[in-house]
A and B are shown apart, each in its own frame.
Chain A
Amino acid sequence: MNPITPIINGLRITLEHLFKKPVTLQYPTERPKVAQRFRGLHALNVSHDKAKCVACYLCPTVCPAKCITVEAGEDANHDKYAARYEIDMLRCIFCGYCVEACPVDAVRMTGEFELANYHRSDFVYDKERLLEKK
């Protein structure tokens, strides 16, 4: 086979690419546009200044990574609410099953993806931190 033409073709292709616009994203200064249905950090939805969660235990049940801990409590109106709601981000696989399972639309996933931290304990998001990101 003629060995020269492929080399010339290759050179032509690389030269064409030289004038293409680079796809690089200058990350810390330039931010990626997160897709609308991106599955990032969880957030607990709020309604009437309270978390919508009714502590039904469907999300910890469906969670394949077993990263959600819920403890139910009873408030002044004798309504069931989540006294404790924790998600361990080190175990979470961001599958979104918890969002799908929730009957009262209390949990959703945000576009937040920068989840690095300095301590292991910081990866366990408690109810307060999950509520913060509205």
Chain B
Amino acid sequence: MGIEILGLPMMYYIAMVAKVLVAFVFVLLTVAYATYAERKIIGHMQVRLGPMRTGWHGLLQPIADGVKLFFKEEIIPSQASTFAYLLAPLVALIPAFITFAVIPFGGVIEVAGYKIPLQIASYFDTAAGRVFDINVGVLYILAMSSLGVYGIVLAGWASNSKYSLLGGLRASAQMISYELSAGLAIVSVFMLSGTLSLNEIVAQQSAYNGFNWFAFKQPLAAIMFFICSLAEINRTPFDLPEAETELVSGFCTEYSSMKYAMFFMAEYANMVTVCALTTTLFLGGWNGPMAIAIPLLGPVYFVAKVYFLMFVCMWIRATLPRYRYDQLMHLGWKVLLPLSLLNIVATGIIGYFIN
């Protein structure tokens, strides 16, 4: 089949580049317009209008914001440790985007006789007749999402400002506390699925006699995972690392211009990632009515579910005030961690008796 490079057909590389480009641009646009959607939704929830002036109903607002931030002055504090200071935004941003490599956003589509699975890090093996992807996809995502905190801690440390440092400290403490419960919440999914490959997990939720989603089999785990994810990406009820009322702007106090924008992009990209992961693990991924018969419907369902979850994130932000630090720790260690452990035990016992 045409030219082969390293034992893989040329189409594989073309498809890979296309998938990477499409996914990256899509996530980037979603990130840009998530800021707009957030301002609009929260505005309307507060009986305001939100941005209205730039473009029709403020639709050009993200672009205007981007251009403005791009032309702002770059400030590096004289006492900052420059290398770490410059590195931190990248360390925050890159893990937020590369998590998308393993998330399946659709079924297998066929282009010019070559089958392409809609998941970046995977390929369709014609000899075996099935899709191969990273078989520890979830582990990869957990690893990458915990890398993200390095960016925040580095930013807090390198800025040489007490507010930034406190923000960074809080971020690390929060991440460690909540990653445990998030990981344990996913474990109960693995106990049902028996695999770490995201592709397989989605396939197991495909049968549409209705309630095959893991959200219905593991409702507690689904809710706990979503709460912990909110805490891990520093979304509002848990946005202590950048608590404006106490820490000016937290870890990004000293940042300006595009570097500041990069932290914000990372935050929203993390939100997209977390919503995509929750969709994949609990809400049946790209599955939906007719999704297997018409492969192009898969991404539509996937995006719809992800956007719904992002709406929920914004909805929660408009509703709940920030937790106090001790409340955060209490919730993480004394409520969510025991609950997730109990959930695993219960899943194990029930699973044993059913089998």
Contacts and interface: CB of A to CB of B under 8 A. Distances in A.
Interface of A: 7, 10-11, 13-15, 17-18, 20-24, 26
B170 to A, nearest CB: 22
A102 B43 CA distance: 47
A21 B47 CA distance: 7
A22 B319 CA distance: 17
B311 to A, nearest CB: 10
A7 B312 CA distance: 13
Given A10-B320, A26-B52, A17 B315 contact: no
Nearest to A9: B319
Interface in B299-328: 315-316, 318-320
A78 B221 CA distance: 94
Chain B interface SS verdict (over half): helix
Given A7-B320, A10-B320, A18-B41, A23 B315 contact: no
Interface of B: 41, 43-49, 52, 315-316, 318-320
Nearest to A15: B315
A18 B38 CA distance: 12
Contacts of B44: 17-18, 20, 22
Given A17-B47, A24-B48, A24-B49, A11 B41 contact: no
B220 to A, nearest CB: 12
B316 A22 contact: no
Nearest to B321: A10
Contact of A11 (B48, B49, B316): B316
B146 to A, nearest CB: 27
Contact of B318 (A14, A21, A22, A23): A14
Contacts of B315: 11, 14-15
B46 A17 contact: yes
Contact of B47 (A7, A10, A22, A26): A22
A18 B316 CA distance: 13
B48 A14 contact: no
B312 to A, nearest CB: 9
Contacts of B316: 11
Nearest to A17: B45
A15 B44 CA distance: 9
Contacts of B49: 22, 24, 26
A16 to B, nearest CB: 9
Contacts of A21: 47
Nearest to A24: B49
